[in-house]
Structure 1
Amino acid sequence: MKQLIKSILFLLACLVVTSCSTTSRLKPGQYLYTGADININPDSSARIDDQKEVKKTLESKTRPTPNKSILGIKYKLLIHNLAPDTVKPKGIGNWLKNKIGEPPVLLSEVKIKYNNDVLKSYLISQGYLQSDVTGDTVIKGKKGKAVYTVNTGIRYKISSITFPKDTGNLTHIINLNKDKTLLKIGDFYDLDTYKNERIRIDNDLKESGYFYFSPDYLILQVDSTIGKNLVDINVNIKNSSPDAGLKPYTIKNINIYPNYNLRRDSLLRSLMPLQYNDFNIYDNRNTFKPKLFDRLVFFKKGENYNRKDHNQSLNRMVNIGAFQDVRAEFLPIDSFKNNQLNLNIYLTPLKKNSLTFSVTGTSKSNNFVGSEVKLTQTTRNLFRGAEQLDVSLSGGFETQVSGQSRGLNSYSFTAEGKLTFPQFIVPFYKPRVTNAFIPKTIASLSYQLLSRGSEYSLNAFKAEFGYSFKENIYKEHNLNPISVNYVQPSFPSDSVEKSLYLENPYLRSALERQFIIGSNYNFTYTNQMEDKRRNNTYFFGSIETGGNLWGLFVQKNDLGKREFFNTPLTQFVRLETDLRDYYKINRNVTWASRLNFGYGYAYGNSTSLPFVRQFFAGGSNDIRAFRARTLGPGTFKVKPDAKFADQGGDIKMMLNTELRFKIVSVLYGAVFVDAGNVWLRKEDKGDPAIPGSGRPGSGFKLKNTLSELAVGTGAGLRIDAQIFVIRLDGAFPIRKPYLPSGQRWVLDQVDFGSKTWRKENFILNIGIGYPF
């Protein structure tokens, strides 16, 4: 306790010293600027709506901004002051002084009148039409601040909204859609809403052919003289609007240049085009099949221009992955004298063949780290329909750096072929998708050899045929109606195999020969791309079946099991959901949470999910206070000296919550709590012929679920450089489900000073990317 008090006193002393050092280099007459204070309606007892938010916004609009600080310490200014007055133009001294550090922001830099005008302008834009702002400076010692007194007055509301009279096609469209207006009677006057209303009207007109219309051609006249702090809004068309913006345009010719570059420009334009449906295709090399453009271009001859077709066409041509440059040009015929446009589409294809070589480092949730070398050959436009064939070969080496199997080495070789068609290929049916995203049909075939040294090897074959489709920017679907997996284990000798199974009886299910024939479907929803949202959500759901349909056709063997090529057919249904929420407390602090549930039901030939489809708990992206894949199932605990420690289950429940905050620059911190476990649907009673082969407590019982959850907590550091994230998390358990009931909470046993406790409980996780 005395040591703690000394540490606190030392920290306080350091804060006082650093506070003084920030002003020690100021010259006479100079004062360090510490920021702005906003006093809203100080002479009135009434508070305005959202006063805290308004005050915070006003403070952010004042200039200059004071020196950056953490916990009141102006660390950048401190670093600047630690450097000598004169430093070389190049070198670490200049880097520390001017790049990491920052010079003092002085009170003399504050322009009171300018800030008064900025703050008043903002208040007027928010409906405080009678607001007034006065500012002054206050000096104390060597520091000074700006104080602004804001008298807002009463906020004005909308009394009525008038749209232009229906005198023609343009005004008719405006009136036809006025029920969608963002302006509502009774709402507060808000300049941003008015700007967005002009954009809304412009979008409506663009959908009806008004290609050259602009939001600037609209004027919203505000009458604030009607009294009672109300305003009338009159929406109208400016008299100065050009004629080209006030008439709709139709598409006359659609000219497509599929193999365009500047060097061939004059040659291509002189060609006799291939006429296909509504398109004139200029390509003497027949680079693409004409019918491809039916799926890429949504415009038709004679139709009105509309922005939806424009955006969807561009998005499809960009996202199809066949072109390095896409350009759409709309040209008026006869210099705006009529109402027709020619559409010219210029497409520059990517190279047909490319070869990529990569060397990557890997860090997995099961504590394996290593590297991989990969060579990929890509062939584009294989059948002249923008198809893509990827053939890759890779080899890697991994070693387990922690856990019960520490020091275990793994070698792998993988060969994969993937053919992607930019359309749905469905027998006896031709679905047509009309949104901006390209549907894909994907066929893949792969083989992997995984060798665990002198213990065992796995030969895995996988074939899939399916579809990938984005419904919109938020929703994505992946369906594989056919998915075939075959796993064939091998051992150096029969004696090694028997030794492994005797030492780890449950290893038999993990390394048995498996044939999985089934289907799977995944759905993903996310709005994380919307940075302005305070709350972002991610949802992933999947369903997978194995052996369901094939089980009807495969005959049973003498033992009553269904076999396919002398291999037991695995039969199961597997469900999983992953829900994540990201709540921005402020610009630099985010509260992230995740709920993950999984359930598997095996039947027929199987009593539990195949090992490769089971759920696992523990690891750097899971419950971080426990070694990867070693938690559970249920209250079972794997032996500390087990060579094969991976423990899977048919059921999983997990909750993670994490507070993420910015420390400085690209360095972020986090504190977190993880909870969860996995269970077998039926308890593993083992082989009666092998004593101790069962896993007592591994079965799932609903009434015991909460009492069998593991809980861990910890903290971490992250380097987030946008293009990559390196993560270091330290975690320890505070609840151990494998202990006797009533003794599972172990928070009172936490002892960082004990080497034995740290060895048994403290887990250090190194990862790439965020855990969720």
Structure 2
Amino acid sequence: MRKLTRFGIFTISCLVFAGCSSTKNLKPGQVLYTGAEVKINPDSSGRIDDEKDVRNTLKGKTRPKPNKSILGIKYKLFFYNLAGEPKKPKGFRHWLRTKMGEPPVLLSEVKLKYNNDVLTSYLISEGYLQSVVTGDTVVKGKKGKAIYTAQTGDRYKINSVSFPKDSSNLTNIINENKENTLLKAGDFYDLDNYKNERIRIDNDLKENGYFYFNPDYLIMQVDSTIGKSLVDVRVNLKNIAPDAGIKPYSIKNINIYPTYSLRRDSMLRKLEPVKYNDFNIYDNRNTFKPRVFDRLVFFKKGERYNRTDHNRSLNRMVNIGAFQGVKAEFLPLDSFNNDELDLNIYLTPLKKNSLSFSVTGTSKSNNFVGSEVKLTQTTRNLFRGAEILEVSASGGFETQVSGKSNGLNSYSFTTEAKLTFPRFIVPFFKPESTNAFIPKTIASVSYQLLNRGSLYSLNSFKGEYGYSFKENQYKEHVFNPISVNFVQPIVDEARRQALYDSIPGLNYTLQKQFIIGSNYNFTYTNQMEEERRNNMYINGSVETGGNVWGLFAKTNEFGDRTVLDVPISQFVRLEADVRNYFKLNKKVTWANRLNLGYGYAYGNSSSLPFVRQFFAGGSNDIRAFKARSLGPGTYKVPDNIRFADQGGDIKAMFNTELRFKLVSVLHGALFADAGNIWLRNEDTGDGTAQNPGRPGSGFKFKNALNELAVGTGAGLRVDATIFVIRLDVAFPIRKPYLPEGQRWVTDQVDFGNKTWRKENLIYNIGIGYPF
């Protein structure tokens, strides 16, 4: 208690010292600026809507900003004063003063008239057309603040909106789409809406050939003299709009330069073009087949220009993955005297061959490897149709370390060849896609060797043929109608039975497995919109094995359908992964994930094949438990088992993590994980002592919540943008394998106890964020 009291006195003393030191180095006559205060209609009983938000917005627009503070302590100014004037422009004192500290912000830096104008302008833009803001300063000792008083008056609303009345083609287009106007009678006057309305009209005109039109050619005339705090809005075309801006243009010639560079510019223009459909192709090297451009360029000769085809063409040329430079140039014929444009497309190809190296981390716990390094050889335009061949080799690892055991490690080696065609290839059918994204047909083959220490290894051979296409920038679909996976386990025969006896359920998984089926994956994400405060990621997948393709398999003497004398796996597997990233501020993000999975095995199979099972525990999963050691259900693997490999047919998992920036590239995290896996049917074994089954492994909906494991912990991450290295330490606070009523173990947490630390602390090392 005495130590705690001393610590409290020391802390309070530091805070008092930091507060007092903020003004001690000021020169005579200098006053420290402490910030702005905003008052709205203080002498009136009338209140405005959202007054608190408006006041905070006005305060945020004042300049300068006062020195940064936490709990009223100007910590950066404290460091600045603590460092003093350094004798040379380097060293610790210079770093502390310039990097950790900041000089005092003085009241003399406040420009009242400038701030008055800025705040008044903002209020007018929000509809307070009669508003006036006046500012003054108040000084107390060596500190001072600015006080701004806003008299807003009434907020004006729109009474009516009218559009041009003449009969020109341009105004007809404006009037045809006026139902989509952003200016509605009864809405508050809002300057941003007027700006956006001009952009909306410009978009409508661009879709109808008005290539040179500009939103600045429109004027919004506002009449505020009609009384009752109402305004009439008239949308008109400015008289200064040039002739080129108010007439529609059509496409004359489409010239494509597929191997363009500045060095070859003059030579390419002298070539005799290859004429293909509506295109003139200038390429003496015949680098691409002409039909490639049918899928890239949406314009046709003689049609009117429109912005949709313009954007779709650019997006496709960028996303096809064959060009490092893309430029579309629209040039008027005869210096704007007629209404035709030539379209010149300049494309600079990427190198034919390239070699890349990457370091990545997996995020799904049913993958074996937590992190991997990958070397990829890429060959582009393989058959002159913008195809891409990627041949890669990768090695990965997943590791956890706890106080009572050695590191639990898995190693893998994978090699893969993937050939991507930038179009749909479907037998007897030629589907067309007209959106901005290139559809892809992908054929791949791969081999993976997974090593689980000295216990066993798995050889996995896989081949897939399917399609990948983006519905828009947020939604992506991947459909593989053909997916074949053959898994060959390698187990020391002398140790096989002992291994099966020590790890219940392993005898069902370490068997030859032949999976032939189909799969579909859907992904939605808006994470590319970094300006959003709330981002989402949703992934859903469904996979079937041995259904349609199983009809072509042979039946052996046991009634099993087989291929190459190996029974095929028959199952349906569903999984959903939903993530939310909420930015509390610029430096703090609250991340959440919900991961659900369900598998149904039938026919030949009593459970999902091992490489399709769900697992719980691990560095990207429920981090307070060893990799794949949790479950199924309330079953607990004996402590002496290093590699548990407890798979299940059903999974439920929830993760929540508070991520925050500490300093530079060093980030911290506080997290909690909850979840478990279950078998669809209880594993009862065969009734022998060698195979007693796994009591409590079956799923019962009414018991599911009571059988969840919960862990919590903290982590450090080095986030250098191009890679993330992660160290998390976690411990369980709920153990589902304990008797009911004893599963919460928060009362047993004791960091000072060596035995507790040895039995409960789990260290997770990984590359990339866990989700």
Whether the TM-score (by the shorter chain) exceeds 0.5 is yes
* Match in the other structure for 2:171: 171
Distance 1:754 1:140 in 2: 54
Superposed CA offset, 1:584-640 (max 9, x none): 444444433222211100011111111211112223332233233222111111111
Partner of 2:25: 25
Specify the code of the residue in structure 2 equivalent to 1:29. G
Structure showing greater relative contact order (alpha-carbon pairs closer than 8 Å, 6 or more residues apart): 2
Structure 1 residues 752, 43: CA separation in 2 closer, same or farther (over 3 Å shift)?
farther
CA contact (8 A) 1:507 1:644 kept: no
Please say if 1:679 is aligned against 2:678: yes
The gaps in structure 2 that reach 5 residues or longer are none
Instruction: Among all aligned residue pairs of Structure 1 and Structure 2, give the percentage whose two residues are the same amino acid.
Output: 75
What is the alpha-carbon distance in structure 2 between the residues aligned to residue 663 and residue 705 of structure 1? Answer: 38
Aligned AA (1:467): Y
1:549 maps to which residue?
A: 548
Alignment of 1:355-374 (within 5 A): 355-357=355-357, 374=374
Q: Deviations over 1:150-195 (max 9, x none)?
A: 2221111111101111421000000000000111111111111111
Query: Which whole-Å deviations, capped at 9, do the CAs of 1:303-340 have from their partners, x for residues lacking one?
Result: 00011100110110011010111111100000000000
Name which of structure 1's ranges 750-759 and 181-190 shifts more when overlaid on structure 2.
Answer: 750-759
RMSD, matched Cα: 2.4
CA 1:404 to 1:381, structure 2 compared with 1: closer, same or farther past 3 Å?
Answer: farther
Q: Give how far 1:2 is off.
A: 5.5
TM value normalised by structure 2:
0.95
Quickly say closer, same or farther: Cα 1:362–1:311, change in 2 above 3 A.
closer
Question: How far apart are 1:405 and its partner, in Å?
Answer: 6.7
Match of 1:99 in 2: 99
Aligned to 1:351: 351
Corresponding position of 1:227: 227
Judge which range, 627-636 or 652-661, deviates more: 652-661
Aligned to 2:563: 564
Per the alignment, residue 449 of structure 2 pairs with 449
CA, structure 1 residues 392+770, in 2 after alignment: closer, same or farther (shift >3 Å)?
closer
Amino acid at match of 2:526: N
Partners of 1:265 and 1:52 in 2: how far apart? 60
* C-alpha deviation, 1:7, in angstroms: 3.6
Residue deviations 1:11-41 (CA, integer Å, cap 9, x gap): 2222222222232222222222222111222
Question: Are residues 1:39 and 2:39 paired?
Answer: yes
Q: Which residue of 1 aligns with 2:515?
A: 516
Aligned to 1:141: 141
Residues 1:185 and 2:181 are matched in the alignment: no
| 358-367 vs 59-68, which moves further | 358-367
Aligned partners of 1:407 and 1:40: how far apart in 2?
63
- Could you list the per-position Cα deviations for residues 53-107 of structure 1 after superposition, in whole angstroms to 9, with x for gaps in the alignment? 2122111111111222233333322222222313422444323321332212122
The amino acid that maps onto 1:709 is: L
Q: How does 1:445-594 map to 2 (within 5 A)?
A: 445-491=445-491, 493-594=492-593
Deviations 1:286-318 (A, max 9, x none): 110000000000000000001110011011001
TM-score with structure 1 length normalisation?
Answer: 0.95
Would you say the 8 A contact 1:408–1:452 is kept in 2?
A: no
Contact kept? 1:128, 1:153, Cα under 8 Å: yes
Shift of 1:363: 10
Distance, in Å, in 1 between the alignment partners of 2:621 and 2:395 is: 27
Distance in 1 separating the partners of 2:541 and 2:770: 20
Matches of 2:619 and 2:396, distance apart in 1: 21
- Contact persistence 1:709–1:737 (CA under 8 A): yes
Match of 1:277 in 2: 277
**2:715 & 2:359 partners in 1: Cα distance?**
27
SS of match in other structure, 2:576? strand
Q: Which amino acid aligns with 1:167?
A: S
Distance 1:360 1:297, change over 3 A: closer
SS at match of 2:519: strand
Query: How far apart, CA to CA, are the structure 2 residues paired with 1:442 and 1:604?
Result: 30
Q: Kindly provide the CA deviation profile for residues 553-580 of structure 1, in whole angstroms up to 9, marking residues without a partner as x.
A: 2232222222211212111000011222
**Counterparts of 2:405 and 2:469, CA distance in 1:** 41
What is the Cα deviation at residue 453 of structure 1? Answer: 4.6
* Contact 1:367 1:403 (8 Å CA) reproduced: no
Paired with 1:40 and 1:337, the residues of 2 have a C-alpha distance of 56
Q: Which amino acid aligns with 1:606?
A: S
Q: Distance in 2 between matches of 1:68 and 1:766?
A: 35
In the TM superposition, what is the alpha-carbon distance from 1:690 to its structure 2 partner?
A: 4.4
Alignment of 1:389-468 (within 5 A): 389-395=389-395, 401-402=401-402, 406-407=406-407, 410-468=410-468
Alignment of 1:272-311 (within 5 A): 272-311=272-311
| Alignment match, 2:333 | 333
Q: Deviations over 1:465-512 (max 9, x none)?
A: 111110001110011111111111113x42122332222232222322
**In the TM superposition, what whole-angstrom CA distance separates every residue of 1:537-560 from its partner, at most 9, and x where no partner exists?**
221111001111122222322222
Distance 1:209 1:141 in 2: 66
Matching residue's letter, 1:516: I
Residue in 1 that maps onto 2:49? 49
Where does structure 1 lack aligned partners over 5 or more consecutive residues? Answer: none
Larger deviation, residues 363-372 vs 393-402: 363-372
User: How many residues are matched?
Assistant: 771
How much has 1:404 moved relative to structure 2? 7.8
Alignment-mate amino acid for residue 465 of structure 1: Y
CA distance in 2, matches of 1:758, 1:744: 18
Asked if the contact 1:80/1:98 (under 8 Å) is kept, the reply is yes
Distance 1:353 1:337, change over 3 A: same
Pair 1:46–1:77, CA change in 2 (3 A): same
State the alpha-carbon separation in 2 of the partners of residues 4 and 566 from structure 1.
73
In structure 2, the partner of 1:626 is: 625
Is contact 1:413–1:450 with CA below 8 Å preserved after alignment? yes
Question: Is the Cα contact below 8 Å between 1:76 and 1:102 reproduced in 2?
Answer: yes
**Which residue does the alignment assign to 2:237?**
237
Specify whether residues 601 and 408 from structure 1 end up closer, same or farther in structure 2 by C-alpha distance, changes over 3 A only.
same
Q: CA deviation at 1:427?
A: 0.6
Task: Give the Cα separation in 2 of the matches to 1:147 and 1:88.
Answer: 40
SS class of match (1:248): coil
Letter in 2 for 1:418: K
Alpha-carbon spacing, 1:531–1:40, altered in 2? closer, same or farther (3 Å)? farther
Change (3 A) 1:577 1:359: closer
SS in 1 for 2:507: helix
1:751 aligns with 2:753: no
Q: Distance in 2 between matches of 1:13 and 1:422?
A: 68
The superposition leaves residues 734-758 of structure 1 with CA deviations (integer Å, 9 ceiling, x where unpaired) of: 3221111122222233223322223
Describe the shift of the 1:616–1:369 C-alpha distance in structure 2 as closer, same or farther (beyond 3 A): closer
Tell me the distance in 2 between the aligned counterparts of 1:176 and 1:402.
70
* Shift in CA distance, 455/623, structure 1 to aligned 2, threshold 3 Å: closer
Contact 1:255 1:345 in 2 (8 A): yes
Q: Distance in 2 between matches of 1:717 and 1:45?
A: 53
SS in structure 1 of the partner of residue 93 of structure 2: helix
**3-state SS in 1 of match to 2:295:** helix
Distance 2:758 2:5 in 1: 29
Q: Could you say what secondary structure the match of 1:648 adopts?
A: coil
| Partner residue, 1:266 | 266
1:510-553 Cα offsets, whole Å, 9 max, x none, are: 32211111111011112223334443322111100111112222
In 2, Cα distance between equivalents of 1:605 and 1:551: 10
- Secondary structure in 1 matching 2:554: coil
Kindly provide the amino acid, as one letter, of the partner of residue 197 in structure 1: E
The residue matched to 1:649 in structure 2 has which SS?
A: coil
Tell me how far apart the structure 2 counterparts of residues 352 and 367 of structure 1 sit (CA, whole Å). Answer: 33
Q: Which residue of 1 aligns with 2:386?
A: 386
Rounded to whole Å, the distance in 2 between the matches of 1:465 and 1:361 is 25
Is the CA contact (8 Å cut-off) linking 1:160 and 1:185 kept in structure 2? yes
Residues 146-165 of structure 1: pairs in structure 2 closer than 5 A: 146-165=146-165
Deviates more, 1:178-187 or 1:497-506: 497-506
For the residues of structure 2 that align with 1:732 and 1:401, how far apart are their CA atoms? 12
Secondary structure at the residue paired with 1:642?
coil
